Structure 1
């Protein structure tokens, strides 16, 4: 969600301050700088996985650091530092109106995801939201395929993972979509990573923002070239053909999982 449908505006880095204190890395220290660089490099990864790395495998310390991070992030959201990416809500509503199933996923804990949904008034926007803990006992987030596969299994929207579309702002989102076998893996330029990083991680298309996703998916359901094929424009922000696939068709019909 953050960076894809929700504007981040540096909230992750600001919330990291609390976690850094738990990890013994005070502001301005070499350790703090090193840890912050790792946080930046792993944007999109499950947050508990990030803190396990920073805690050198100390599970208890990692959980304390993650709890501090989630608490600080939640406080920032409660203070009003949370806004949707322009056009994100409208894009989700358009996708739903077209009969697609939209699932919002995150690397945050459920409490933080719920705080974001409440702050934006998005509780009723989609039928399903997922966090790593929702994927099973292991609670694996990105870059594992679990969130995408859980969305498919829980919604039952389609019978082929190739008809699932994944959208996100990080390389980890792209790897998740590729590993899950999604038919469309779409990067957006409103978050952590640029077009080169997104394509390098497997993006089949890169958009200026998620606002262009409905038009892109409509275009993929026509007979035109697919992203990456000759004649296609891999960086699109709208303006494509419309139409929905017949049962068994090749276009990504849903669910759509903006990360």
Structure 2
């Protein structure tokens, strides 16, 4: 059994259903179609980095990021937050079988906490991390490596990384993880995830335990 599984949140373990895009449009109601397309292409990446790419100046980026966090929290408070079907059971199964579970995200710590609290998942993982805390967000490997260091693993190859975007896949590959699985419950298509180099492309996280039985 692989001793550490690093799981993305929105689109992988938590249903997105367009929430990121909705929050973005609430934060920037005058966004152009090109800006919306950029948000879609960069799903999984650090949100403050995305705003820096879209807007001129750090002040504007920080203001938009704060508005995004407020809008996302409001959507969660309105009841738009639920687990991907089967995700709670898979996470419980992994931990019962002795694996450590880490949650990574492109959101800030504040938004991550809002989601985990709404789901009752504040004690569901052994480790949680964000781009700001790890150093850099996806597609860099920092969050995976932060989990490796934080949980005291001896070898980065003793890791499975699971996410729904090409950025998730690249992050896992660059970290040296043995299993880098893409799931089809979020933003990435089968072709996108395979092209990024995923070792496995799964219909959902429900299929992960069967994959890990071979390791």
**Residue 144 of structure 2 corresponds to residue 145 of structure 1:** no
Which of 160, 166, 169 is matched with 2:164 structurally? Answer: 169
Match of 2:106 in 1: 107
What's the secondary structure of 2:167's corresponding residue?
helix
Alpha-carbon distance in structure 2 between the residues aligned to 1:198 and 1:46: 19
Match of 1:5 in 2: 13
What's the secondary structure of 2:100's corresponding residue?
coil
Match of 1:203 in 2: 198
1:74-128 superposed Cα distances (whole Å, 9 cap, x missing partner): 1100111000000001000000001000001101011110010011010111121
> How many aligned positions are there?
207
Match of 1:39 in 2: 39
| TM-score normalized by the length of structure 2 | 0.94
Match of 2:3 in 1: none
Q: How does 1:111-190 map to 2 (within 5 A)?
A: 111-135=110-134, 139-156=135-152, 158-190=153-185
Match of 1:192 in 2: 187
Alpha-carbon distance in structure 2 between the residues aligned to 1:43 and 1:132: 14
Please state how far the C-alpha of 1:19 moved relative to its aligned partner. 2.5
Question: 8 Å contact 1:199–1:206 — kept in the other structure?
Answer: yes
Alpha-carbon distance in structure 1 between the residues aligned to 2:167 and 2:157: 19
Choose between structure 1 and 2 for higher RCO, CA contacts under 8 A separated by at least 6 residues: 2
Please state how far the C-alpha of 1:60 moved relative to its aligned partner. 1.3
Structure with larger Rg: 1
Alpha-carbon distance in structure 1 between the residues aligned to 2:50 and 2:171: 16
Structure 2: stretches of 5+ with no match in the other structure = 1-8
Please state how far the C-alpha of 1:159 moved relative to its aligned partner. 1.0
> Where do 4+ consecutive residues of structure 1 move more than 4 Å?
none
What's the secondary structure of 1:206's corresponding residue?
strand
